[in-house]
Amino acid sequence: MKYTSTRDGSVSVSSALAIAKGLSDDGGLFVPESIPKITKDNLKAYVGMKYSDLAFEIFKLYLTDFTDEEIAHAVNNAYGDNFDDGIIRLSQIDNGPVSLELWHGPTCAFKDMALQVLPYLMTISAEKVLGAASALGAASALGAAASAGGGKETLILVATSGDTGKAALEGFKDVPGTRIMVFYPENGVSEMQKRQMVTQEGSNVGVCAVNGNFDDCQNAVKDIFTDAKIKSALAQKNIVLSSANSINWGRLLPQIVYYIYAYVQLSQKGHSKINIAVPTGNFGNILAAYFAKEMGLPVGKLICASNSNNVLTDFINSGVYNRNREFVSTVSPSMDILISSNLERLLYLLSDRDDKKIAQWFGELKNKGEYRVPDALKNKINDLFYGGFCDETMTMKTVKSVFDEHRELLDTHTAVAFKVYEDYVLKTGDKTLTVIASTANPYKFVNAVFTSLEIDEHSVNKADEFEKAEIIERLTGVKMPGALRQTKDKEIRFNQTFEKHELANAVMEFI
């Protein structure tokens, strides 16, 4: 299995090199040269498997340059006692959709499903690449991918809209041979998400707030990756760059697994086909569902749920991607994104891997803020995806109505997906059992959930988020996870804020 770039089809690299580098030199994203297939017999064989064992089977299909022992080491260490209540939990909301709870990991968000295993994949990848480079006598040529051994360090840069940052910090904390630096929008994450990041422990971690939004953070990180001057300065210090964002294939691959796992569990209850609804901003989580479908998982419609930053909804329905619009800070901040990076992978695959078209469209997006795909491609997208969005008012109403009617407490991102799912059923009449990706514990967004539930308590306006959490606990019976409660007494380690044009300088200061 080789990997190519969405912007240069002549690129052909191993999975180890794709994971170690994170982003292709041409600015494109790595994509497998083919999508492996799973059969009905495979799905039957998966029945009864532990989550780590299923991950092993799926990883083997994509990481063919890894040994079985290397993959087993990664998945067995990643998916263990660091997760509570098992790895994931499936919970049917009365006789309606199934909530796929992906937030039982150490940071209480779905990003743990990938970012607990990514450090292992990156360490193994770096060792492989370094070994291959040394054997060829070409370590300098492949230095951009070498990280472990040889005296080199990997600097992992992460732009976050809230959840990725903490999950990446936790995953790479004190991992030998690595440093990690996270950028988050100063006013674009919840108070709990911010507290999780700025109190992060570890000797190799750095966290910076940015005056701007997530797109500003993401664009700055991408610019650093393609800046020859910065890479040269880092090389002089024996430091190479990589990414833990979902632009890295090592982030996306683990997300495929949980959709297959969910289907296998549901198939034992007589369900032969499912739809999947995903709240998404950067398009990575729903793209993983697309890969599962293309592998052969019996999936009908992929329901793409956006918040008020509904650029994906408009694109799916019109074929025009236009980021030239007001950026809205919402109660579902992890989806506050106007440039959906992983959409590039989908368009590459659906356009028959036309790298020239991809380079053209994403060049137009960067320079003009807009591109249009042909009708034939738009029709392909419409066959696969339904796009809908949910505004602020309706998001909060959904949190309340789902709790009042079903006693299920949703965070403000899962609520977006629930409402868009309901709209889809009303519009289409499609009653196929739908799996809703539940992406975060509701206590990560205490203030928004508290307001949504319309709690009438004395002096609640003066209550801090931990006091509000106690009130929610009393009302709902749902306990706040210890990992979040513990942040109350942790030392704040990071309090710097940078302008978006200063991030390269921030990187150099960090190292």
Structure tokens at 432: 């196929």
Asked if residues 171 and 119 have their Cβ atoms less than 8 Å apart, the reply is yes
How far is Cα 254 from Cα 239, in angstroms, rounded to an integer? 27
Q: Do the bridges between strand 30-32 and strand 3-5 make them parallel or antiparallel, or are there none, so unpaired?
A: antiparallel
Structure tokens at 408: 């299920």
Residue in 56, 31, 35 with CA at minimum distance from that of residue 45 = 56
CB atoms within 10 A of CB 333: 27
How far is Cα 392 from Cα 257, in angstroms, rounded to an integer? 31
Tokens 């292992």 map to which residue?
Answer: 120
Strand order in the sheet with 434-438: 89-92, 98-101, 434-438, 274-279, 299-306, 385-389
Tokens 């049917």 map to which residue?
Answer: 92
**How many Cα atoms within 13 Å fall on the side-chain side of residue 484?**
27
Asked if residues 265 and 90 have their Cβ atoms less than 8 Å apart, the reply is yes
- Helix (H), strand (E) counts: the chain: 22, 16
CB atoms within 10 A of CB 38: 17
Residue 333: alpha-carbon gap to chain centroid = 13
Alpha-helical regions (H) of 458-502: 465-476, 482-485
Nearest 5°: phi and psi at 56? -55, -45
- What CA dihedral angle connects 208, 209, 210 and 211, to 10 degrees? -150
Q: Give Cβ neighbours of residue 404 (< 8 Å, ≥ 6 apart).
A: none
Catalytic residue (choose from 21, 44, 111, 400): 111
Instruction: Identify whether 111 is a catalytic site residue.
Output: yes
Residue in 427, 331, 327 with CA at minimum distance from that of residue 369 = 327
Asked if residues 350 and 374 have their Cβ atoms less than 8 Å apart, the reply is no
**Which element (helix H / strand E) includes 210?**
strand 205-211
Which active-site residues does the annotation give?
A: 111
